[in-house]
Structure 1
Amino acid sequence: MTAADTLIIHVRFAPDGSVTEIGERPSGLDAQQWFNRLSDKAGSSFQALSGGRGFFRLGTEVVTALKAAALQ
């Protein structure tokens, strides 16, 4: 996977562990729902960071497919 084929989806967490912000979110889902879907389908692509942050590193085709499935 090249850099051009990769998306980095940033996530921010509240102190209680709930998701407050997440990138590439489809309009039909809230931040926590999108995080749960990404975690379920591509959890091994998540990297936790300090300060209540993390990110998913996914191929653009994977993100497109997950977004399409979320809209159905």
Structure 2
Amino acid sequence: MSETVMIHVRFSPNGTVVEISERPQGISPQDWFDHLSANKPLVYQALAGGRGLFRIEREELETLRASVKASNAA
């Protein structure tokens, strides 16, 4: 059985991402959110109070981390 990771997101009043968990080093919170949203839109849940949550399997998360680092390195 695979482990599900919950990635918590906090937004500022203007809609930009202030904090997001599981973010790779060197990647801005907004870039990490944009990458997750583009690649896993169906696992995102909007919450009240300027918050949100992604539920992603651990293996998929590692793949997403590697791909965001590669796209930012280019």
Normalising by structure 2, we get a TM-score of: 0.89
Q: Which amino acid counterpart does residue 24 of structure 1 have in structure 2? A: E
AA of the residue aligned to 2:54: F
* One of 22, 38, 41 as aligned partner of 1:40: 38
Percent identical pairs in the alignment equals 46
How big is the alpha-carbon RMSD for the aligned residues of Structure 1 and Structure 2? 1.0
Indicate the residue corresponding to 2:67 in structure 1.
69
Distance 1:26 1:48 in 2: 22
Q: What is the CA distance between 1:71 and its match in structure 2?
A: 1.8
Q: Distance in 2 between matches of 1:71 and 1:49?
A: 27
Instruction: Return the letter of the residue paired with 2:32.
Output: W
Name structure 2 gaps, 5 residues minimum.
none
**Structure 1 runs not aligned, ≥5 long:** none
Q: Distance in 1 between matches of 2:14 and 2:69?
A: 28
Whether 2:31 is the aligned partner of 1:18: answer no
CA-to-aligned-CA distance 1:33-62 (integer Å, 9 cap, x gap) = 000000000011000000000100000011
Q: 1:28 touches 1:70 (CA, 8 Å); kept in 2?
A: no
Give the whole-Å Cα distance in 1 for the aligned partners of 2:52 and 2:27: 19
**Structure 1 residue runs of 4 or more that deviate by more than 4 Å after TM superposition:** none
How many positions carry a matched residue from both structures? 70
